[in-house]
């Protein structure tokens, strides 16, 4: 689970970080959930393995990209972190790279895949990823060097990761982000992971966050938070 690597602690770290948190756009598994109204046998279908975006999800990415271009955020973000699940990578590339006909004056931030920020793992095929060797071909824009295993060695067939485990993983991820030199970082991840991470930041590390920030993200929703150095003490 500690797949972020041994990043050394820098002596001169930023006094604050601005994180742009994005939940992936609608995936085909979300469509199944909306049809059934609750998680059931449909989510166990192997057809949902490493679920891609739905047509509506692709449109959501396009709309979010337009907003980011208009806001100038594309020139502000220094690094994009993405879950290595397909729906998250399609969202990350679609928003922060887009099509080849865009204005080439934009300075594209690098996109880095990390296992630690993927969705709650286990049981459902939609949360099991394809091999990295396969995904490198589909996503040449993404740096996969920090993903240690080619095949998915973290997904559990018999049970799902519990929420406490997700929260702990989220705090380890934030600590790793804090020790990086970039001040403005985008994270493209998943609803449960983002919500549990923010709740843990608020409840376990006493970082003040508005109630609206702690609610479940909509598909392709972007929220920004600023974390001040003086407001958080990372627990070992």
The residues assigned a catalytic role are 24, 119
Q: At what angle do helices 86-96 and 55-71 cross, to 10 degrees?
A: 40
Q: How far apart are CA 186 and CA 235, in angstroms?
A: 23
Q: What is the CA radius of gyration of the chain?
A: 17
Strand partners, 79: 185
| Torsion sign across C-alpha atoms 93, 95, 101, 107 | negative
- Residue 15, token pair as written in the block: 């006094």
Strand partners, 16: 228
First to last CA, the chain: 15
Q: How far apart are CA 152 and CA 114, in angstroms?
A: 12
Strand partners, 226: 18
């Amino acid at each position: 689970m500690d797949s972020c690597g041994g990043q050394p602690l820098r002596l001169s770290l930023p006094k604050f970080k601005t994180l742009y948190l994005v939940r992936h756009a609608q995936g085909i598994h979300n469509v199944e959930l909306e049809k059934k109204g609750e998680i059931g046998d449909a989510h166990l279908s192997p057809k949902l393995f490493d679920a891609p975006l739905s047509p509506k999800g692709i449109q959501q990415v396009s709309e979010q990209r337009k907003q980011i271009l208009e806001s100038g955020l594309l020139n502000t973000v220094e690094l994009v972190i993405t879950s290595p699940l397909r729906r998250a990578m399609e969202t990350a590339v679609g928003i922060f790279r887009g099509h080849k006909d865009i204005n080439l004056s934009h300075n594209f931030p690098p996109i880095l895949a990390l296992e630690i920020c993927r969705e709650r793992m286990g049981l459902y095929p939609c949360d099991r990823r394809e091999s990295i060797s396969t995904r490198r071909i589909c996503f040449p824009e993404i740096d996969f060097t920090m993903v240690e295993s080619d095949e998915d060695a973290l997904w559990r067939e018999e049970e799902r990761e519990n929420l406490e485990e997700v929260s702990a993983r989220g705090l380890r991820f934030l600590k790793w982000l804090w020790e990086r030199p970039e001040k403005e970082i985008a994270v493209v991840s998943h609803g449960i992971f983002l919500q549990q991470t923010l709740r843990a930041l608020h409840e376990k590390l006493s970082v003040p966050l508005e109630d609206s920030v702690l609610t479940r993200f909509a598909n392709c929703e972007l929220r920004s938070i600023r974390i001040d150095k003086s407001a958080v003490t990372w627990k070992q």
